[in-house]
């Protein structure tokens, strides 16, 4: 059978990178204008792929709305191909739900424009997550096109594979050969050059193909369509005994699927490929760490606060906030392209990203505020003291927590505007005391953290805001038995004195203790944690390490002559700053002298030293099963990597890592880097919420809030190194020891990637038994990453009873999404089982259920009968290891 070569014209469009978004959009508008003119003028130029992401069309139409109908006709007719993504993301640095929303937005937009490419088009992502086959299958996509992160190893020599995720989902993987998506762009070459180059490409394509079909990508980064392609195809047809089609990725995939028989299988994540593709770029998880922290916070805001609250309040009669949620998600997704969230662009790009994160924060915060206004109504005429304090639990199980909140007590009215006839009464006396009282009339324990005086404001839909001066208290509250995904409240009473409560935690000048843990800090600032439940002790924790980094935004690279500085070599200042009754805290301060920068030739670290002021607050509450740390670093050095170390005392080369929709086991391997001529395998790796070391009857889990890069050191102590800062000054360097293959991009100096200034990092350590991994770990994960939200109210009406929207029971079942359905007809809930063993569970709704159907990730019906509802509220689910289930629920009323 003659081979068929599918020539796919395309442009890989990085929305922002070595130019800003607006600079690249100016290019995009002109490129698409030329593309539309070419398609009208040249019928032999059949089709062009706009990079698998609909945002390029959205960006174009924002400037050229008058060409919308013309563009739609081209897409509907197959001459322009778009979707299924909204943006081409980095897969490891965004959440599973962000990936689902990305495909929801992209497929919806593409279909509205005339049709979507039904291929998981991810050729330029810097590696691929384990559950990507399951995510694609959840959108009816059976094929993935990949490039980086795979290839070059034994058994990875073909262009077709079956790719299986931990839940058993399988897609056809089409793997681009080592020249990637730019090899077939022949514009500006002579006929002789085209024939000679294609002959070389043909030999490599033929050697890898398992069917009669091969694909060659006719394009590149920000490339215009090649107007000479019809002539090039005619030249190739006249000189090679083969079929040549001006094709699409989907047509190629369908042709391969018709013929494919026995092909290799690959499983799980794909993050190697260091001998195949141009580069995997293994250092992006820690470039500009502030971006990762902001993204983590915004993802949590939308997927675990704003969306569930909108579903909750909408079910109780509120007008849906879905249009605002769609706006917030699209704005957040615009920060998820690989060159954006990876932190490997010019400084102006990342400044604009922070503006988008701020917009998401403001939209998401407004949505939660509207929902609380509906669920816990406020009388906007009440402008004096706070009279009630409510709490929202985002977790699908009851929570008992120590919650930080704020209360304001009226002192004086503030007159706004020119009101000469208004006389303001003198201020009231400051508060002498107050108490929080539950529905049974009992005082609820609290701990005052700070007191100040300042402004308060009450907003109204029907009048101007009322501003007052107030006595303000920041406090901790002992909140017990909060209902799952629910709200409960306490009354606030002014009193003549503050009530006193017994200490629930014990502490001294260098130790903290509750019923589960004892924490001590030594003179060097190292922390020892004794797990009183299981009898294990972990020593030498929370030590800091600073080393040189003469890499770039893509890769960490050590200097030829490095200098390692640790906090263990000096003394620390340890003081107790909180002693209860609800939280006790130690402050551990280090003044680390580190080299100020790299040497001018970048081969060593400078002789000149600067001081890194590092201050860590270590805290325990009565309920803490994990020790919480908040570390503040004043970074005044350049060209360095700053990490915090946690020896587990377990001799192991394996860790369990939280990933998207799963927990995976990774082995920390050692490599002879001399065998890797493109890029050295990265010792660091990405995570989502946590990483666990376990063995010999002990286990230690590190929770990290938005710092996604860790390394398991092969030091015999099972030490986890968490990257806090990686500070570099180049977008792409050409002298990296760890990337001998050359530059990963164009030269741009990026002084803001040195991350100067003050940074704050949150993380926690959870000691446990290896066999307790599933239920306890997930509960502690929720408590750390998803704090309870307090809601102040000034109304004097009686407290409403606690209310719960939904609960999830079942060891290992993890809530991933709780949202209003995209079609507005019900509630969508998604849970998954990240562990290998099957699990049975019950989803209980707080109001009667009319009907429950299982749906795909794209919320399309699977076609199975409705699920059974027990007692009017309970839905039983059964999930295999690694399984995901999405249900669509219609509630009564």
Cα distances (Å, whole numbers) of residue 400 to 375, 394, 437, 513, 514: 21, 12, 16, 18, 15
The two structure tokens encoding residue 246: 């001006």
Q: Are residues 718 and 643 in the same domain?
A: yes
* pLDDT-wise least confident of 666-670, 771-775, 822-826, 829-833: 771-775
pLDDT digits (tens, 9 = 90+) for 100-115: 999 999 999 999 999 9
pLDDT at 1: 84
Whole-model pTM? 0.97
Task: For residues 288-317, give the mean pLDDT.
Answer: 98
Cα dihedral 33, 37, 42, 44 sign: positive
pLDDT of residue 773: 65
339 and 480 assigned to the same domain = no
Residue 469 within a domain: yes
- Please report, for the domain that includes residue 172, its CATH number: 3.20.110.10
Buried b (16+ CB within 10 A) or exposed e, 631-653: bebebebbbbbbbbbbbbbbebe
| Same domain membership, residue 346 and residue 447 | no
Contact between residue 480 and residue 446 where contact means Cβ atoms under 8 Å apart: no
Domain end position, chosen among 501, 531, 557: 501
> Do residues 7 and 245 make contact, with C-beta atoms less than 8 angstroms apart?
yes
Q: Classify residue 243 by burial, with Cβ atoms within 10 Å: 0-12, 13-18, 19+.
A: middle
Residue 677 domain-assigned (yes or no): yes
* 797 belongs to a structural domain: no
Per-residue pLDDT, 619: 98
* C-alpha to C-alpha distance for 18 and 731, rounded to whole angstroms: 8
Looking at the predicted structure, is the pLDDT value of residue 48 above 80? yes
- Report pLDDT digits (tens) over 636-652: 999 999 999 999 999 99
pLDDT over threshold 70, residue 571: yes
Compute the average pLDDT of residues 483-496. 97
Question: Looking at the domain assignment, is residue 793 inside a domain?
Answer: no
Judge if 16 and 40 occupy the same domain. yes
- CA distances to 112, 244, 369, 812 from 704, rounded to whole Å, are 39, 51, 27, 20
Mean pLDDT of the chain: 96
pLDDT at 417: 79
Do residue 495 and residue 590 come from a single domain? Answer: no
| CATH number of the domain enclosing 423 | 2.60.40.2210
The whole-angstrom separation of Cα 175 and Cα 151 is: 8
Q: Of 501, 517, 543, which residue is a domain's last?
A: 501
Per residue in 330-386, pLDDT tens?
999 999 999 999 999 999 999 999 999 999 999 999 999 999 999 999 888 899 999
Confidence category of residue 424, pLDDT binned at 50, 70, 90: confident
Least confident of 41-50, 205-214, 377-386, 482-491: 377-386
Q: Please check whether residue 493 lies inside any domain of the structure.
A: yes
pLDDT on residue 679: 95
Contact 886, 855 (CB under 8 A): yes
* 169 and 51 housed in the same domain: yes
CATH number, residue 852: 2.60.40.1180
Kindly report which listed range (7-16, 278-287, 612-621, 817-826) carries the lowest average pLDDT score: 278-287
Same-domain check for residues 526 and 467: no
The answer on pLDDT for 660 being more than 90 is yes
In terms of domains, do 494 and 527 share one? no
pLDDT tens-digit profile of 70-91?
A: 999 999 999 999 999 999 999 9
Which domain-ending residue is among 234, 267, 300?
267
- Give the single-character DSSP code of 730: B
The answer to whether the CB of 845 falls within 8 A of the CB of 891 is: yes
**What pLDDT, on the 0 to 100 scale, is given for residue 124?**
94
Residue 269: closest CA among 137, 127, 161, 171: 127
Number of domains composing the chain: 5
Give the C-alpha separation, 183 to 466, whole Å.
65
According to DSSP, the β-strands at 243-247 and 4-9 are: parallel
Q: Kindly report the length of the chain.
A: 893
CATH for 772: 2.70.98.30
Say if residue 5's pLDDT is above 90: yes
- Are 419 and 459 part of one and the same domain? yes
Residues 329 and 464 in one domain: no
> Is the residue at 282 inside a domain?
no
Which runs of consecutive H residues, i.e. helices, occur in 657-772? none
The Cα 402–Cα 271 span in angstroms is 40
pLDDT value of position 772: 66
CATH number of the domain that residue 319 is part of: 1.20.1270.50
Q: Quick check: is 376 in a domain?
A: no
pLDDT above 70 for 878: yes
Domain ranges, residue 424: 388-501
Same domain, 335 and 420: no
- 774, pLDDT greater than 90: no
Residues 543 and 681 in one domain: yes
Q: Is residue 375 part of a domain?
A: no
The pLDDT confidence band at residue 425, using thresholds 50, 70 and 90, is: confident
């Amino acid at each position: 059978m003659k081979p068929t070569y599918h020539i796919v014209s395309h442009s890989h469009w990085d929305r922002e990178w070595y130019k800003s978004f607006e600079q690249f959009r100016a290019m995009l508008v002109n490129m698409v204008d030329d593309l539309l003119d070419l398609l009208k003028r040249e019928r032999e130029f059949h089709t062009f792929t706009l990079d698998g992401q609909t945002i390029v069309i959205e960006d174009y139409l924002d400037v050229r709305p008058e060409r919308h109908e013309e563009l739609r006709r081209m897409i509907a007719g197959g001459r322009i191909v778009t979707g299924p993504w909204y943006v081409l993301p980095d897969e490891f640095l965004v959440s599973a739900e962000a990936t689902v929303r990305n495909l929801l937005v992209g497929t919806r937009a593409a279909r509205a424009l005339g049709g979507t490419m039904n291929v998981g088009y991810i050729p330029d992502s810097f590696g691929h997550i384990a559950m990507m086959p399951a995510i694609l299958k959840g959108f009816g996509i059976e094929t993935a096109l990949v490039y980086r992160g795979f290839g070059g190893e034994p058994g990875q020599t073909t262009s077709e594979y079956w790719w299986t995720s931990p839940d058993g989902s399988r897609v056809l993987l089409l793997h681009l050969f080592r020249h990637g998506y730019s090899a077939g762009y022949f514009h500006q070459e002579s006929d002789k050059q085209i024939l000679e180059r294609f002959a070389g490409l043909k030999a490599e394509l033929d050697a890898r193909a398992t069917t009669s079909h091969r694909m060659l990508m006719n394009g590149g980064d920000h490339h215009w369509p090649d107007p000479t392609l019809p002539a090039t195809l005619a030249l190739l047809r006249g000189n090679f005994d083969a079929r040549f089609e001006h094709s699409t990725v989907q047509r190629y995939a369908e042709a391969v699927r018709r013929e494919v028989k026995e092909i290799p299988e690959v499983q799980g994540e794909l993050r190697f490929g260091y001998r195949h593709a141009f580069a995997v770029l293994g250092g992006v998880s820690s470039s500009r760490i502030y971006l990762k922290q902001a993204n983590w916070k915004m993802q949590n805001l939308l997927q675990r606060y704003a969306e569930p609250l909108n579903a909750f309040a909408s079910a109780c009669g509120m007008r849906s906030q879905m249009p605002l949620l769609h706006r917030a998600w699209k704005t957040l997704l615009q920060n998820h392209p690989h060159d954006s969230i990876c932190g490997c662009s010019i400084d102006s790009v990342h400044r604009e990203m922070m503006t988008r994160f701020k917009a998401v924060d403001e939209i998401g915060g407004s949505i939660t505020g509207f929902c609380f206004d509906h669920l816990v109504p406020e009388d906007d005429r009440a402008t004096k003291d706070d009279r009630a304090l409510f709490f929202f639990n985002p977790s699908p199980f009851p929570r008992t927590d120590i919650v930080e909140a704020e209360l304001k007590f009226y002192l004086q009215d503030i007159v706004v505007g020119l009101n000469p006839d208004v006389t303001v009464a003198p201020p009231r006396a400051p508060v002498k005391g107050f108490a929080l009282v539950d529905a049974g009339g009992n005082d609820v324990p609290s701990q005052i953290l700070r007191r100040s005086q300042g402004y308060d404001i009450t907003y109204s839909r029907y009048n101007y805001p009322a501003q007052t001066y107030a006595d303000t208290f920041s406090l901790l509250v002992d909140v017990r038995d909060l209902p799952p995904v629910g709200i409960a409240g306490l009354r606030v009473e002014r009193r003549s004195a503050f009530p006193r409560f017994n200490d629930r935690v014990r502490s001294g000048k260098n130790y903290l203790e509750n019923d589960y843990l004892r924490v001590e800090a030594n003179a060097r600032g190292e922390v020892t944690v004794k797990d009183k439940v299981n009898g294990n002790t972990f020593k030498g924790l929370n030590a800091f390490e600073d080393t040189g980094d003469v890499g770039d935004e893509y890769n960490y690279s050590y200097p030829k002559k490095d200098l390692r500085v640790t906090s263990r070599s000096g003394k620390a200042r340890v003081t107790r700053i909180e002693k209860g009754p609800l939280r006790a805290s130690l402050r551990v301060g280090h003044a680390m002298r580190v080299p100020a920068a790299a040497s001018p030739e970048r081969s060593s670290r400078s002789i000149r030293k600067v001081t890194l002021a590092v201050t860590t607050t270590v805290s325990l509450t009565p309920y803490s099963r994990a020790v919480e740390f908040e570390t503040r670093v004043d970074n005044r050095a350049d060209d360095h990597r700053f990490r915090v170390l946690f020896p587990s005392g377990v001799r192991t080369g394996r860790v369990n890592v939280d990933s998207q929709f799963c927990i995976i086991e990774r082995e920390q391997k050692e490599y002879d880097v001399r065998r890797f001529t493109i890029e050295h395998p990265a010792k660091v790796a990405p995570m989502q919420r946590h990483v666990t070391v376990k063995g010999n009857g002990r286990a230690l889990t590190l929770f990290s809030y938005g710092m996604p890069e860790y390394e398991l050191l092969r030091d015999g102590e099972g030490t986890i190194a968490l990257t806090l800062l990686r500070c570099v000054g180049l977008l792409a360097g050409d002298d990296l020891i760890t990337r001998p293959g050359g530059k990963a991009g164009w030269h741009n100096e990026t002084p803001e990637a040195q991350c100067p200034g003050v940074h704050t990092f949150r993380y926690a350590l959870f000691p446990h038994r290896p066999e307790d991994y599933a239920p306890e770990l997930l509960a502690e994960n929720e408590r750390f990453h998803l704090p309870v939200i307090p809601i102040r109210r000034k109304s004097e009406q009686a407290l409403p009873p606690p209310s719960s929207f939904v609960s999830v029971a079942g060891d290992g079942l993890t809530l991933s999404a709780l949202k209003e359905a995209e079609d507005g007809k019900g509630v969508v809930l998604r849970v998954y089982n990240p562990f290998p063993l099957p699990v049975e569970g019950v989803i209980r709704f707080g109001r009667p259920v009319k009907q429950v159907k299982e749906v795909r990730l794209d919320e399309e019906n699977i076609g199975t009968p409705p699920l059974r509802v027990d007692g009017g509220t309970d839905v039983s689910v059964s999930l295999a290891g690694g399984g995901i289930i999405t249900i669509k629920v219609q509630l009564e009323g």
